[in-house]
Structure 1
């Protein structure tokens, strides 16, 4: 019977591309006839399985006995990693420099100190040029150790020079760490609570950001100092809903790569993440023309197969491109057209399930549910909203959980599921009661839906108009706009007032915006 436990070796094998598999087979044959045969049989068995099953592995690899399986899997894991390291060495400067550091160690151990120092000097220079400061510092520490033990009189003043160099690189690494730590913490804060909810949130987040933001002289700063400085600001402004400022710093992030084009290849993941954050800011500003331009920039970068150097790159390109394509459909009100791409997105979600974290899956489910809702298919919207509502870790994106429940209520109402609606109202009431901070929009919609069954049919239009007026008044408060980023409830109300599909309202708004 298939086990639900994900086996690490199986998982690793399943991430390999065709060329990586071919390279491994050649690599395994170098292990010797007997050992190579066992490796290949186990490798092929894992490669041919859709789900890890120990019994089927043993059937497909007859040269292996059950008692050997654990050790052979451990060896296979190690050898697949070794093969991948060799295969990707030419594309990864850090692997190449690490190899040269290893060679310097070998030379040192053989007493060839000058050769080792020459190798370390080369590593240090290349690392500094690539702004890989940790590697440069490691080479420098090794250099200092050799010099402290084997100082030659021809190297007068070398000790002082090395000490000053170490202090300079250490200071730079410290600044980079402080900036990257701040960016990571701001991102973590966003994942946990979403956008700032009130003045108190704003003051607390701003105080935290300013307290931990180190002073940076951008004119003299290196690539990564600038990058993490811009990144931290993007997340700060995004959390406090200052999308114009978030756009400005996301553009600086992307421009930094344009100024250092070689970094697009060396740090491709950070480049495409910058484009994604720029798109997020543009979407929230409803800046359609610029959004299309940047999305095309991301798609053009993705189209070059040389840039798809790893499954991780593939996964992030899928994530960012498809997320923003859906956002474009939202912006233009083309919900029904967007549904054509849902099957392909679901296939990719399954393909990348081992790499995608729960937060990103929930975002996709909400966006897919919104596409179905916007196109009028309420039952399919409910199906995807339930995937979010049933997710066990409620601490992850409490706001998303809340809006999924509210949209679920609306979808049940639209579908005419009156009996289920009563249960859903109780469920949402219970959830809102446990929330750390409810916002006016959430409370007003819930109150309205709770009373909906008591409103006479001929009074519905006036009730929808009254709610729309109330919500537009609420949306005037900058901190109360957050809910409308997730759920365009006002367009839905307009569709009910005018008795037309919600996507027709959205299309009309898009045309008026152009």
Structure 2
């Protein structure tokens, strides 16, 4: 397993992300001045490049750096690496860098008194900014242009001032609309990360009111690419939180379709394109549309393989997450858990160990829960408990409270299944306290907790009947507006059926899948 302590050193993490060509480029950049060849920051770079984990003692032992110097030299090295990376950036794929470069040159020319040359470069920058809808940068360019036109005689047409005024106002309106839609999308995403799906009528009214009052007025036909993108993102999160997966599918489909109609945007905003794909696949998974899910997932993998999506540090992480979570989801849908453990888990951890230091806690928790459920379906309760424990040990209780709650329910089930029930009362009490603490104590959770609490008082020959009673109670809530969210995290009905019919969870879900395929 990866070293958790590595996450604390930013310089080490940055060096870890460098490719061979980026390291070579840094050495060339750093050694461009002869005096730098023996510089301490270069020696620090060389030793840190060879480390598998950050080790300060090793650095001090193998370099002429004193402990009191280390902090400053690390800061200097960090800055020098960023400068070398900036110089290496591919201008064709980073149009905003090219625009900024034009703007820098325009300011240099302006300070030299070469106003017409400065305006010419601003004109070139504006063409690129308009083409790729960099409206914030475009406004900065227009404001600089206005300043030159207002302070100097540039022999421009008299009407130019009116044109710039109109252009500035139009951009401000667009930026305000963009900002309102992107802020709404971000706020909804933040709410989901904190608590998950709506839990009751109060949550539902709050989210509907919040969405309605913060959604700006718009004409869909007049919206630009980014305005439509932020709108679809906000709609996806709104429907997702409300568990309206049909509407969520429609919005996520529009999100992906938007990029496919603007193919150049796949290279400019690859992270947003990948996220659109993910939510489209996620909603198909929750809607149990297997054939559509497989078709879209194959399309996604094909685009990645054909490099239709820009590959960089950010996209590598998302491609890893979305590829493996959806491979696991495929095995969930098919009921092929044992096959999933053999085919998915080994390559998953090879990749996971390479990028662990760059994954945030949210992604790690999702991955651990997916892995735990895959192991549970395959009948491997020991590994189920192992990965659920990692979630339960997470100290960030304001992050994915829903996932942390349902991890505790599955943990109880896995402990019961594995025979590790000697401290069951203590585990039940701990789960109960956590649900109360997280304000997530609802009917389905109550019935499951009470079931385990009373199981110790039941005679062996009565146990199967108790499983039937619990199943009959829970089935009533399968389509309940709020209680059904439990079944999104945990297929407890299939587990109960497996106990009643003396079959494995895997065989129960596989039989259900085959019936669904046959009927379709």
State the TM bucket, normalised to the shorter chain: over 0.9
* Per-residue deviation, residues 44-85 of structure 1 (Å, max 9, x unmatched): 1111112222231234435x4555433332222111111111
* 2:376 paired residue number: 373
Q: Tell me if 1:486 matches 2:510.
A: no
* 1:113 paired residue number: 115
From 511, 514, 519, the equivalent of 1:511 is: 514
Conserved? CA contact 1:461–1:496, under 8 Å: yes
Say which SS state the counterpart of residue 399 (structure 2) adopts. Answer: coil
Q: Tell me if 1:123 matches 2:130.
A: no
Conserved? CA contact 1:124–1:136, under 8 Å: yes
From 13, 19, 22, the equivalent of 2:21 is: 19
Q: Tell me if 1:248 matches 2:244.
A: no
Distance 2:168 2:366 in 1: 44
* 1:451 paired residue number: 454
Conserved? CA contact 1:409–1:424, under 8 Å: yes
Q: Given the two structures, how large is their TM-score scaled by the length of structure 2?
A: 0.95
Offset at 1:93? 0.8
Aligned in 2, Cα 1:89/1:405: closer, same or farther, shift over 3 Å? Answer: same
* 1:74 paired residue number: 75
Conserved? CA contact 2:270–2:310, under 8 Å: no
Distance 1:511 1:380 in 2: 27
From 206, 217, 222, the equivalent of 2:224 is: 222
Conserved? CA contact 2:29–2:84, under 8 Å: yes
Say which SS state the counterpart of residue 155 (structure 1) adopts. Answer: coil
Alignment of 1:178-217 (within 5 A): 178-217=180-219
Which stretch of the first structure deviates more once superposed, 364-373 or 230-239? 364-373
From 383, 392, 396, the equivalent of 2:399 is: 396
* 1:360 paired residue number: 363
Offset at 1:18? 1.6
Conserved? CA contact 1:333–1:504, under 8 Å: yes
Distance 1:339 1:101 in 2: 53
Say which SS state the counterpart of residue 271 (structure 1) adopts. Answer: helix
Conserved? CA contact 1:29–1:37, under 8 Å: no
Conserved? CA contact 1:465–1:493, under 8 Å: yes
Conserved? CA contact 1:3–1:53, under 8 Å: no
From 150, 153, 172, the equivalent of 2:152 is: 150
Q: Given the two structures, how large is their TM-score scaled by the length of structure 1?
A: 0.96
Say which SS state the counterpart of residue 23 (structure 1) adopts. Answer: helix
Distance 2:335 2:502 in 1: 17
Conserved? CA contact 1:28–1:36, under 8 Å: no
Distance 1:453 1:297 in 2: 50
Offset at 1:491? 0.3
Which stretch of the first structure deviates more once superposed, 180-189 or 67-76? 67-76
Q: Tell me if 1:386 matches 2:386.
A: no
Conserved? CA contact 1:6–1:52, under 8 Å: no
Which stretch of the first structure deviates more once superposed, 504-513 or 345-354? 345-354
Say which SS state the counterpart of residue 418 (structure 1) adopts. Answer: coil
* 2:95 paired residue number: 93
Conserved? CA contact 2:371–2:387, under 8 Å: yes
Distance 1:479 1:344 in 2: 37
Offset at 1:384? 0.8
* Per-residue deviation, residues 454-473 of structure 1 (Å, max 9, x unmatched): 11222122211111111110
* Per-residue deviation, residues 190-231 of structure 1 (Å, max 9, x unmatched): 111110112221111101100000112111110000000011
Distance 1:281 1:437 in 2: 24
Q: Tell me if 1:415 matches 2:418.
A: yes
Distance 2:404 2:362 in 1: 11
Aligned in 2, Cα 1:391/1:159: closer, same or farther, shift over 3 Å? Answer: same
Distance 1:231 1:308 in 2: 20
Say which SS state the counterpart of residue 456 (structure 2) adopts. Answer: helix
* 1:300 paired residue number: 302
From 13, 33, 36, the equivalent of 1:34 is: 36
* 1:234 paired residue number: 236
Query: Structure 1 unaligned runs (5+)?
Result: none
Give me the CA root mean square deviation: 1.8
Offset at 1:39? 4.1
From 323, 326, 330, the equivalent of 2:325 is: 323
Q: How many pairs does the alignment contain?
A: 512
* 2:53 paired residue number: 51
